[in-house]
Amino acid sequence: MTEQVEGMHTVTDAVELAEELAAGGFCALRWELITDNTDLNEQKLALTELCEERRTLIEFVDLARKNLTVVFNHHFPPPDRAVQDLVDGVEEQRWRDDHP
């Protein structure tokens, strides 16, 4: 197993992710981590429903060239620099995953 990029952590529990989004956080959905049992649209729908239960409106921004989707709380959009840092961190984590 590779080590995580500093300042980033992986959340695999959808409820935990919805709670972090409700608290004003943001995240990236890495397309390569989507399982054969679901697709991106199903994941978006499920996450939207969990956030709606928490009265949280979320936004999705698909970055096709990066093979990921940035998700954030509509009322707390992250600064551009923070999104760029997230994308850079995802790319570094992908490199680490491929080069243990």
What's the pLDDT at 49? 97
CB 85, CB 27: distance < 8 Å: no
Q: Rounded to whole angstroms, how far apart are CA atoms 76 and 98?
A: 33
Residue 16 clears pLDDT 60, i.e. is over it: yes
The 10s digit of each residue's pLDDT in 65-78 is 999 999 999 999 99
> What pLDDT, in 10s, does the model give residues 30-55?
999 887 788 899 999 999 999 999 99
**Global confidence as pTM:** 0.88
Neighbours of 88 (CB within 10 A): 12
